[in-house]
Structure 1
Amino acid sequence: MNLSAQYKAIRNYSEKICEPLQTEDYVVQPIVDVSPPKWHLGHTTWFFETFILTPYLTNYQVFNKDYNYVFNSYYETVGNRVIRTDRGNLSRPSVNDVYQYRKYVDEAMESLLTNEVNAELEELLILGFNHEQQHQELLLTDIKYILGNNPLFPAYSADLFKPKNEAKNEVSFVHISEGVYDIGYEGVDFSFDNELNRHKVYLQNFSIAKELVNNAEYLQFIQDGGYQNFSYWHAEGWDWVNVNKISAPMYWHNIDNSWYNYTYQGLEKLNLIQPITHISYYEAYALASWKGMRLPTEFEWEIAAKQFNWGERWEWTESAYLPYPGFNKAPGAIGEYNGKFMVNQKVLRGASIVTPENHSRITYRNFFHPHLRWQFTGIRLAK
């Protein structure tokens, strides 16, 4: 697929994600971590306009000079921006305005891509493709949060992202011998800068589960008083449980002594054989402690991943999000993409059911603060 075709396919998928929405759904921001769908559509468009069209398309005129302030996310180099908590307070630009903005930029991009693309521009284009794919996953998880916190529990779609109803076999483990292993991306295709540079790590003997922890196992943790027993928790996690009155994973509801779970299909009876999801690092750690095990490090996960199926859930690891040896930030705004977030966050590995096709690899390093759980996060045990 050439660059023009890739661009169109990725841009069309973002809009397809939004097809089931009502206009009112586009503007809601229930919490700071969830951005309105309208903002995602605008921000990904701003990325192409700011970093590609403005410097590379001769005589390009920006669609609206105020959109740099509205749709810049965190790029200090590019200028001031609306603070993150205020994204849901913007009634303007309207949803229709944002779609007109996308159309305008897409037409300009089509014009640009009719010309020969040099290596520097191609590298930026591919980063833009991957950036929009990241926001497609955020779009889907943000939409779920918006609808899942509506008291009517409206379905997003009756057909999209239906879980597979496959019972897993009894949990088995992959055993990895101690030794020195190579970690990090190696190849010529795209990777993010935080996957570089490839380097060696020493690992002790360890075992890692082939299967993810499922809802039935997590329910046992709840029924055994897991949320009431501080001995399973970090002190910070225990404070988080008590301050926020946490007693179950996000989207779980105990109704008349039966457990229900909000899904893209609406509120449904809890499916016990599905992998647990929408949990924080604190909860993942506590469940592992309750089981007498632990979470894997990101290096253990990467070395063992070829021996188990992954991709249903972003899997919490025991690793802090830190730069690899020799990590270098790119100059300018592009250098802000990953490096400045390497503090106070945990690495997650794998992918999820809403990760776009061809947007996952064993070396991919996702990262979130330990309390966050609106993404499709899950648990793989190690010992």
Structure 2
Amino acid sequence: MNVPTFTVYTEDAVARFMRIRRQTLALCTGLSGEDLQVQSMPDASPGKWHLAHTTWFFEQFVLGHDLAYRSLNPEWYYLFNSYYESVGPMHARPQRGLLSRPTLDEIFDYRANIDEAVGELLLRGVTTELAARIELGLHHEQQHQELLLTDIKHMLSCNPLLPAYRNMSAPNQSKTSPLRFLPGREGPVDMGHEGHGFAYDNETPRHTTWLSSHALANRLVTNAEYLAFVRDGGYQEAGLWLSDGWAQVQREGWQRPLYWQEDLASEFTLAGVHPLDPHAPVCHISYFEADAFARWAGARLPTEAEWEDAAAQLPIHGNFQESLRFQPNAVPLGEGLLQMYGDVWEWTASPYVSYPGFKPLPGALGEYNGKFMNGQWVLRGGSCATPRDHIRASYRNFFPPHARWQFAGIRLGQDR
């Protein structure tokens, strides 16, 4: 007979739970109820929905783990389920902005009630299985903190007034390190989560792969470099683009990165419209644009194995959510690989597929990652909207190749 082991959480661990939950609320400071209600496109969600869905996650998968638990608002399970088909039906994603009820105040009360219940549960002690679910819920919360920021930015950009989310420090203008290609390791290397600390199931199992002779750019592609691509007619040259990418350019009328203004000298940021910093990493571009730029530059995008092997040898520091800038910093001067973490997610040349021997989590939580391994591309490294303690070298983010509203940029690679 298997006897479940229990984890009794300390007050520090409960404080961490509350800190991460409260950070989501802090990101909403200064936003109106109207701001949090708007859904600017089907790929984005209203801020109010993010606040409710992250709470639903803890109610559904933590409190609901107790068969005796009874929700005070069972009809909300339908409203705030995202994509968990095995849990039950859900409200249509493109219509989340129509959910004027429950009210924002009711969502705040919902969060407070669930937080209190989970906090009490932690102090009483939970099984190792439930502890793992709570940890997953906290990382899920941090993912939605980043989504909250990117969705708010897109929403505000749709307003002709181009209002600011917050006033922030001016960008640091500086000289840019010359672009150089640094050789990576060659031969068999191990990649994937090593087994210490939290990881999503899609980071496993750790396995051996082969790296051919290659090099990575020492830094990210800058706005000035991408501007040269734009001025050189990059968006008019079909030969630079993948077929689906060229069709997207024609269909959507793309001429420049998302949020660049028509003057090609300014961009919309979460602090409003600011001059384009030529030394900052270009961001808010799709995989299609990243791939076309790399081809124009006579290079390619790195594979995720090349990126991870290089990043695993570096400390994790950079411009993350905690800086409160919510905008990429200028590329610093320095030696070695720069800005591997933070600032912008880096598109890789790797499709989002499973590792050899991959097994999703059992039950409904197995829908978290595995079922999206189709038609998406991997990004690495985190961004200026990512919480610092959420990222690691093995972290695999993924988006469809046309996605532009995330803080995504380019690091070049090349064969040697």
TM-score (norm 1): 0.96
Query: Which of 250, 264, 273 is the matching residue for 2:279?
Result: 273
- Return the offset for 1:137: 0.5
Equivalent residue number for residue 101 of structure 1: 110
Q: Give 3-state SS (helix, strand or coil) of 1:155's partner.
A: coil
- Return the offset for 1:159: 2.5
**Within 2, Cα distance between the matches of 1:284 and 1:272?**
17
- Return the offset for 1:74: 0.2
Equivalent residue number for residue 404 of structure 2: 373
- Encode CA deviations 1:10-55: one digit per residue, 9 max, x unaligned: 0100000001211100111111111000000000000000111122
Matched, 1:21 2:8: no
After TM superposition, the structure 1 = structure 2 runs for residues 1-383 of structure 1, keeping only pairs within 5 Å, are 2-56=12-66, 60-159=69-168, 163-255=171-263, 259-305=265-311, 306=314, 308=337, 309-310=339-340, 311-383=342-414
- Return the offset for 1:163: 4.4
**Within 2, Cα distance between the matches of 1:353 and 1:72?**
28
Amino acid at match of 1:363: S
The percent identity for this pair of structures is 48
Amino acid at match of 2:355: Y
Q: CA contact under 8 A between 1:63 and 1:104: conserved in structure 2?
A: no
- Encode CA deviations 1:136-164: one digit per residue, 9 max, x unaligned: 0000110111111211000000037x644
- Encode CA deviations 1:104-155: one digit per residue, 9 max, x unaligned: 1111112212202221111111001000000000001101111112110000
**Within 2, Cα distance between the matches of 1:221 and 1:32?**
30
Q: Give 3-state SS (helix, strand or coil) of 1:131's partner.
A: helix
Q: CA contact under 8 A between 2:171 and 2:277: conserved in structure 1?
A: no
- Return the offset for 1:59: 5.1
Q: CA contact under 8 A between 1:63 and 1:101: conserved in structure 2?
A: no
Q: Give 3-state SS (helix, strand or coil) of 1:114's partner.
A: helix
Amino acid at match of 1:372: A
Equivalent residue number for residue 320 of structure 2: none
**Within 2, Cα distance between the matches of 1:329 and 1:250?**
34
- Return the offset for 1:329: 1.4
**Within 2, Cα distance between the matches of 1:379 and 1:124?**
34
Q: CA contact under 8 A between 1:226 and 1:232: conserved in structure 2?
A: yes
- Encode CA deviations 1:180-238: one digit per residue, 9 max, x unaligned: 11111103200000000111111111010010000000000000011011111111111
Count the aligned residue pairs: 379
**Within 1, Cα distance between the matches of 2:122 and 2:194?**
29
Q: Give 3-state SS (helix, strand or coil) of 1:77's partner.
A: coil
Structure 2 unmatched runs, 5+: 1-10, 315-335
Q: Give 3-state SS (helix, strand or coil) of 2:210's partner.
A: strand
**Within 2, Cα distance between the matches of 1:29 and 1:115?**
39
Residues 128 and 163 of structure 1, relative CA distance in 2, 3 Å threshold? farther
Amino acid at match of 1:379: I
Q: Give 3-state SS (helix, strand or coil) of 1:262's partner.
A: strand
When the two chains are superposed, the root-mean-square deviation of aligned CA atoms in Å is 1.4
Q: Give 3-state SS (helix, strand or coil) of 2:395's partner.
A: coil
TM-score (norm 2): 0.89
Q: Give 3-state SS (helix, strand or coil) of 1:222's partner.
A: helix
Structure 1 unmatched runs, 5+: none
- Return the offset for 1:166: 4.0
**Within 1, Cα distance between the matches of 2:42 and 2:101?**
19
Q: CA contact under 8 A between 2:202 and 2:360: conserved in structure 1?
A: no
Q: CA contact under 8 A between 1:351 and 1:360: conserved in structure 2?
A: yes
- Which 4+ residue blocks in structure 1 deviate beyond 6 angstroms? none
**Within 1, Cα distance between the matches of 2:72 and 2:296?**
55
- Return the offset for 1:268: 1.2
Q: CA contact under 8 A between 1:42 and 1:71: conserved in structure 2?
A: yes
**Within 1, Cα distance between the matches of 2:368 and 2:244?**
28
